[in-house]
Chain A
Amino acid sequence: MNGIDEIPASWFLILSAILFSIGVIGVLTRKNGITIFMSIEIMINAVNLTFITYAREWASTHGLIFVFFIMAIAAAEAAIGLAIFIALFRHRETIDVDEANLMHW
């Protein structure tokens, strides 16, 4: 398993950049709340990949700890976010984010 040095670290970083921009596109173009939420998860995972790539390159455990915390916080965020969507659906019968405009000026 020592062949991992064959793959340059920048390739992982570019993969991460591609995934992150896909997530950005999803957030900007979709109206469905849960799809937007899933796009945010894509971006979070792209960041995780970057952290682990740099952790390997710098031979440091700190990057892994950051990923660990990001995962924990993503779990909390998913629980709260989905609860918000369930509450929204109860009141509005939709999870279209344009319909949730009570606070809109």
Chain B
Amino acid sequence: MFELVIFFFFAAVAVIGALTVVLHPNQVVGAISLVLSFFALAVMYVLLGAPFMAALQVIIYAGAIMVLFLFVIMLLNVERDEIVVSRPVQRFLGYTAGSAFGLTVSYYLLKAAVIEAPEGSIFLSDARSVGMRLFEAYIFPFEMVSILLLAAIVGALLLTQRDVRRDATGGGETV
């Protein structure tokens, strides 16, 4: 009973937060409601018995990625409210297609999603078992992701750097 209340409350928070991102003209409001939405999703992960993933969700999404978004929005400081809107036909098609897609998927999930858990297995979601799995079966993808992150760091630096001017001492200084 208690879990049901929590589920519906945070499901509503997640959906309303996501809707605010899509519908609200102000990007900062959008970013904050997205943080709330991600936080609600972290609660969902706890309900699903994966508190470790919930902590990761909050640390990575709410604590790092969304701060980066907010930082860029504040740095660019474009108009507070976005005036340019898309053409009516585009909006109509977007809403219709999106809703139709969501309804269809929900319908088939209700009708056809059959889940049969294997007998007698326990869902291990603590940091130790996730880490063991990560460093045994998935060690190669793990290393690949670290290279990808390195490439992303270098790429981001390269994209955002301005002219490099050499000063008298010979050291490079980004201006």
Contacts and interface: CB of A to CB of B under 8 A. Distances in A.
Q: Are the chains A and B members of one assembly?
A: yes
Interface in A45-75: 45, 48-49, 52-62, 64-65, 67-69, 71-75
B175 interface: no
Interface string B102-125: 100110011001010110011111
A56 B2 CA distance: 20
Contact of B61 (A25, A45, A84): A45
Nearest to B152: A76
B82 interface: yes
B137 to A, nearest CB: 8
Chain A, interface size category, equals: 35 or more
Given A20-B105, A38-B30, A68-B130, A80 B76 contact: no
Chain B, interface size category, equals: 35 or more
A72 to B, nearest CB: 5
A80 B153 CA distance: 8
Interface of A: 1, 3-4, 6-7, 9-15, 17-26, 28-32, 34-35, 37-39, 41-42, 45, 48-49, 52-62, 64-65, 67-69, 71-80, 82-87, 89-90, 94-96
